[in-house]
Amino acid sequence: MLFGLGKLFYVILLLVNSIAVLSEERFLSRIGFGRSSSDTAVFGQQEGTAKSKVVQLIGAVQTLLRIPLIGINLLVIVYELLLG
């Protein structure tokens, strides 16, 4: 099989890693995806724009998955070194 579950896991892991290492000051604010207080919705406004959802997703990945990603990356590195 050309594209199995192992390769799919590697692709997902690499994509999540790439989102986790994006720097807000150096990259995201330059392209307009920084978390600024002017973009947040206040009471009565809808927060359903695609840009705001992408910014929230990037922030959530950077906040919630930072520590688990370290462990998962270590497991993948050890697996590749031993059984690679």
| Residue 9 falls inside a structural domain | no
| Residue 67 falls inside a structural domain | yes
| Residue 10 falls inside a structural domain | no
**What single string gives the DSSP state of each residue in 11-53?**
HHHHHHHHHHT--IIIIITTTT-S--TTSS--TT-----HHHH
Range of the domain at 50: 19-38+46-83
| Residue 5 falls inside a structural domain | no
Per the structure, the count of domains in the chain is 1
33 neighbors 58 (Cβ within 8 angstroms): yes
37: pLDDT confidence band, cut at 50, 70 and 90? Answer: very low
Question: How many Cβ atoms sit within 10 Å of the Cβ of residue 55?
Answer: 20
| Residue 76 falls inside a structural domain | yes
Lowest mean pLDDT among 4-8, 9-13, 41-45, 75-79: 41-45
Higher pLDDT: 59 or 68? It is 68
| Residue 1 falls inside a structural domain | no
| Residue 30 falls inside a structural domain | yes
pLDDT at 71 over 70: yes
| Residue 60 falls inside a structural domain | yes
Q: What is the pLDDT of residue 54?
A: 81
Rounded Cα distance between 19 and 27, Å, is 12
